[in-house]
Amino acid sequence: CPDAVFLPVDKDAYEDASADVMATLRTFTSRVEVLGWDEAFLEAHTDDPEDLAGRIQAAVLDRTRLMCSIGIGENPLQAKLATGFAKPAGIYRLTSASWFEVLGDRSPDALWGIGTKTGKRLAGLGIATVRELALTDPAELAGKVGPTLGPWYVRLARGIDRSAVRTEPYLARSRGRETTFQQNLQDWDQVRAEVVRLAEQVAGDIAAEQRPVIRVVVKVRYAPFFTTTHGQPLAEPSSDPARLVAAAVELLDRFQPDRPIRLLGVRAELRPPASPS
């Protein structure tokens, strides 16, 4: 097999590039909703969205030397899914008029918000396509998968989503660090020391956010390339770095200590900010 080259994550460089991209987007509209480093929604009112999308792509490329894919839709759900069809570095429009033509025969897990596991569950209920899900009685599905999820899945399948772009500052749901080792780790004491180091780095990353940790996850990639994760909630939300570290070390007991390890990661999931009353 070909040789693989593993490069370290350059978080600062990613954040700088992301800030440049988002600043470029805001030259076109003040209504920008940042979803992460590399994704955002823009609300724009234009008779020619493809022309606007092309100008955005050109501006991002000129300022950052980065290419982007742009999805166009009547709401964030449609735009998000359209972006998948636009890759790489293209433009694609998905609207209510073309929704079922494009997505109707696809599995429900093609929708943003429905994963593989949920798709299989829906298939077990006789719902195998987006069109079938859209035609399902929301009340009937609520009785099978829950009063909130059932109607929401049906709305997704019909291409219905909130219309407004949210402009509140983006807050990450979690913070994490991981390391790929040039030589596999086999000494479990060394593995434990690396997990402590990563957990302490994560604690430092979230210290300024004043958002307590609610759950800790440890990721292990065994050589040559088998990855598994284990997580556990804290007994109560906490900002104490020692508790984060202790939880990460405790999670190591759930992994196999007799296999060489290629990668380790620690992630802290944060409590969402309180909604304004």
Catalytic residues: 39
Residue type, 47: D
- Exposure on the CB side of residue 87, measured as CA atoms within 13 A: 5
Long-range CB contacts (within 8 A, 24+) of 96-103: 96/159, 99/158, 99/159, 100/130, 100/131, 100/134, 103/130, 103/159
* Rounded-to-integer distance, Cα 220 and Cα 267, Å: 12
- In DSSP terms, which residues pair with 213 in a beta bridge? 238, 270
Taking the chain, what is the end-to-end CA distance rounded to the nearest angstrom? 57
Give the C-alpha distances (Å, rounded to integers) separating 143 from 69, 111, 130, 133: 39, 21, 19, 14
Q: Taking a C-beta distance cutoff of 8 angstroms, is the pair 231, 264 a contact?
A: no
Is residue 63 helix, strand or coil? helix
Helix (H) or strand (E) holding 119, with range, is: helix 116-124
Q: What angle do CA 137, 138, 142 make, to 5 degrees?
A: 120
